[in-house]
Amino acid sequence: MTSIGKSLPHDSAHGHVTGTAAYIDDLTPLADELFVDFVGAPIAAGHLRSIDATVALGMEGVVAVLTHRDLPGTKRLFGPIFHDEPFLVADEISYIGQPIVVVAATSRKVAHAAVKAIKLECEATTPILTIDDAIRLGSYLGPRRKIERGDLDAAFATAPHQFTGVLESNGQEQFYFESQACIAIPGEDGSVRVHSSTQNPTETQAVVAEALGIGMHQVVCECKRMGGGFGGKETQSAIPAVMAALVAIKTKRSARVIYGKDQDMICTGKRHPYKTKYRAAFDDDGRILAVDVELHSNGGAFADLSTSVMERSMLHMDNAYYLPAVRIVGQACKMNYPPNTAFRGFGGPQGVIVIESILQRIAQQLSKDAVDVRRLNTYRDGDDLANTTPYGQLVKDHMIVETIDQLVATSDYHNRVATINSHNVTSRLTVKGIALSAIKFGISFTSKFLNQGNALVNVYTDGTVQVSTGGTEMGQGLNTKIRQLVADQFGIDTDQVLLMTTSTEKNNNTSPTAASAGTDLNGQAAIVACEQIRGAMTRFASEKLFLGGNDQPPSVDHICFLDGFVFDDRNSAKKIAFSAFCDLARRDRVDLGGRGFYATPGVDFNRETGQGTPFFYFTTGAAIAEVTIDRFTGEMTVDRVDLLMDVGKMINPGIDIGQIIGGFVQGMGWCTNEELVYDSTGKLLSTSPTTYKIPNVTDIPAVFNVATIDNPKHVINVSRSKAVGEPPLMLGICVWLAAKDAIWRLCAGEPVQMPLPATAEANLACIASRLMPCHPPAPLAPGHARERGRG
């Protein structure tokens, strides 16, 4: 019996609920450990003139105060794509919270006090805080990119209908529960070991080595688990690691950096806010004829992953729909905020929301059902142009149409639309809306070289197995899925298999655990390692074990590993326990270790031409949300969500459904409640859960039907599974569309301009503007303040 397809609990579930699963700050301090904190820039733009640390240096317990001058390496800049970000400020200040001075002290309390005692003299310049200003000043990160197909001008010249619009989407804080954290322990001869809460041990290793001016071989980066990453620890775990390692090297003592929540929210990057101009042409039926979009993102102060994130936005502008003539232009802007970075969906949401918004507006303009309009434009399954993305990849072996049809049926969509309409006529208190949105999410890193993984598998003489991969566990269940895959390879119980701490010592040159491809890459690499070991095992078994006695010729093809036993399938009576077998094999000098390597086949994309096959396959789905909005407060409740996804053959359905629910709710948060508020100097005001509202348990839809659809056409990828981590986040968009739908139904005719997030305030403003068409207010007599909230 295989464990693949079983809903085994997460391998740390017991640890998560009993508090025994250790995160970085749970690790027992070494005797001489120092606590590290830093002084961040007080202004968003300007120059650092002087640092006065006299008072701090005189405080008892302060061991070191370090600046960029103390960095031993020759390199001063780092970054995952462009090397443009300083480890520590030397002169130019680029965002509020940017690390300037590193302080090490014998206790947390002293470190915090020392940070407060350090005086900076800075000269402020005017920060760039809006995308419009960045465009006006030509402040950009990376090149302007374009993907094009068809004759756009001709399509717009002849189209029966068209409109233009602008869509702005807010950023989003990753809100991992474990803040950025790292412990660095100095080793012999200038080496260092860092325990980092990171999705990217290899990059952490490389950046630490660069900052310290040592070889990568002198740095080991380990990550047991993260208390959430959500993309926020793909690159941004590097700075805390550099600070800890710098202190460790300078003081020869171990060093601990643990960001406070507010500090983390102030000084680390988030989801990119976007401003997108669009133009769409369509026919009388609602069929899209042409789409022309120009996306600008707020990339923050340094490039980080912004160009890659923008690329994914551009590659998801079509989402699940065929766009015959299309032009997609994308440009990341350099602005004075922390460098924005990966966040679940990685730019996908910002692209998907534009086309979903366009489709809804088409339906409203033509007074058609929005689901019918979507279905009309959906990719079918064929090898013609109508199933080809703007970047030239064929969309095949999918179930998008079936998914929408099944969802419409099981959710009783059409009857509910009728009920909603009658509710809206009778209720004077609330208004209801309903909307469907779909997702087609490309799986693979769009940088081809990242699509690789390696794994180390050690089988011991008692039949137990240790597995190490480059994949990191952040709660998503990667370790549990790999455990199931490996147990299946040897026909043993999952209890016999353990996933070990991720470490660059065991797995080198690894990719970040990101792009939802953790299991695809590392799970397949682990299988390759198991196959090597099984190859040696079956040779040994056929040559030495099942010979003699039963007259059968040795044949490796007949050796089975099943239910904890090894046997020749022609004579299963003569079976040997896997543990005894491993012991015998070792005595016969059989190698019981393997290192597997896997590279995703077939993916390729040309950035210059904007054409290629960037994705190995697509994870797809759709969801329908029904919401109720209070007409007098704008407060919204999500009454019901029906969600259906094709996530292939699930290795662990319990974990995958958990990812779907969590992803959807996180997407809903982006669209509805999570509002980053800055003051006019670029300072973040919403820096904690009291002012920044992530969804809580009571925000989960009252009725939430989650199902998966079987896809017999999907035969590739590890164990025929599909990546699940990010795609469901984008289905949360249907809640935002439902809010717009509700307000549109209040007073149909005009399209609804709804900001993102659709907070209660935004909903109320939207309702007010529709119910009380604004006549320009009469001029006030001088000295009279206008009452707020009246239009």
* Active-site annotation holder among 635, 726, 750, 787: 726
| Of 93-101, 341-349, 475-483, 611-619: span binding ligand MOS (CB under 6 A) | 341-349
Interface of this chain with ligand MTE, residues 64 to 123, rule: CB under 6 A:
none
CA 148, CA 159: separation in Å to the nearest integer? 18
Burial 709-722 (b: 16+ CB within 10 A, else e): bebeebeebbbebb
Residue 478, contacted partner among ligand MOS, ligand MTE, none, CB below 5-8 A by kind? ligand MTE
Rule CB under 6 A: say whether 657 interacts with ligand MOS.
no
Rule CB under 6 A: say whether 728 interacts with ligand MTE.
no
Q: Cβ 676 to ligand MOS, closest distance in Å?
A: 17
Burial 9-32 (b: 16+ CB within 10 A, else e): ebbbeeeeeeeebebbeeeeeeee
Interface of this chain with ligand MOS, residues 228 to 267, rule: CB under 6 A:
231, 234
Cβ neighbours of residue 265 closer than 8 Å, sequence gap 6 or more? 173, 684, 686, 687, 688, 692
Residues 490-519: x where in contact with ligand MOS by CB under 6 A, - otherwise, as a string: ------------------------xx----
Q: Cβ 343 to ligand MOS, closest distance in Å?
A: 5
Q: Cβ 662 to ligand MTE, closest distance in Å?
A: 6
In DSSP terms, which residues pair with 401 in a beta bridge? none
Reference 533, options 600, 593, 449; nearest CA is: 593
Please identify, using beta-carbon distances, which residue of 479 and 759 lies nearer to ligand MOS.
Answer: 479
Rule CB under 6 A: say whether 463 interacts with ligand MTE.
no
Rule CB under 6 A: say whether 725 interacts with ligand MTE.
yes
Q: In 10 A of CB 52, how many CB atoms?
A: 12
Rule CB under 6 A: say whether 344 interacts with ligand MTE.
yes
- Map residue 421 onto helix, strand or coil: helix
Rule CB under 6 A: say whether 270 interacts with ligand MOS.
no
| Of 84-92, 142-150, 223-231, 590-598: span binding ligand MTE (CB under 6 A) | 223-231
DSSP 72-83: -SS--EE-SSS-
**Interface size with ligand MTE, residues (CB under 6 A):** 21
Residue 476, contacted partner among ligand MOS, ligand MTE, none, CB below 5-8 A by kind? ligand MTE
| Of 337-345, 460-468, 532-540, 616-624: span binding ligand MOS (CB under 6 A) | 337-345
Q: In 10 A of CB 263, how many CB atoms?
A: 18
Q: In 10 A of CB 747, how many CB atoms?
A: 14
Reference 165, options 391, 369, 376, 359; nearest CA is: 359
Amino acid at 716: I
Q: Cβ 523 to ligand MOS, closest distance in Å?
A: 16
**Interface size with ligand MOS, residues (CB under 6 A):** 10
CA 642, CA 662: separation in Å to the nearest integer? 14
Judge whether 726 counts as a catalytic residue: yes
CA 284, CA 369: separation in Å to the nearest integer? 13
Rule CB under 6 A: say whether 517 interacts with ligand MTE.
yes
- From candidates 228, 330, 347, 433, binder to ligand MTE by CB under 6 A: 228
Rule CB under 6 A: say whether 514 interacts with ligand MTE.
yes
- Cβ–Cβ under 8 Å, residues 59 and 114: yes
Burial 82-103 (b: 16+ CB within 10 A, else e): eebbbbbbeeebbbbbbbbbbb
| Of 146-154, 473-481, 536-544, 589-597: span binding ligand MTE (CB under 6 A) | 473-481
Preceding amide of 42 cis, omega within 30: no
Rule CB under 6 A: say whether 199 interacts with ligand MOS.
yes
In DSSP terms, which residues pair with 62 in a beta bridge? 105
Please identify, using beta-carbon distances, which residue of 142 and 442 lies nearer to ligand MOS.
Answer: 442
CA distances from 278 to 25, 360, 361, 364, 610 (A): 47, 14, 12, 17, 19
| Of 41-49, 294-302, 415-423, 513-521: span binding ligand MTE (CB under 6 A) | 513-521
Rule CB under 6 A: say whether 519 interacts with ligand MTE.
yes
| Of 454-462, 512-520, 625-633, 634-642: span binding ligand MTE (CB under 6 A) | 512-520
- Cβ–Cβ under 8 Å, residues 741 and 154: no
Residue 564, contacted partner among ligand MOS, ligand MTE, none, CB below 5-8 A by kind? none
Rule CB under 6 A: say whether 656 interacts with ligand MTE.
no
Binding site for ligand MOS (CB under 6 A): 199, 231, 234, 342-344, 346, 514-515, 726
Active site positions, annotated: 726
Residue ranges that bind ligand MTE, judged by CB under 6 A: 228-231, 344, 474-476, 478, 513-519, 659, 662, 723, 725-726
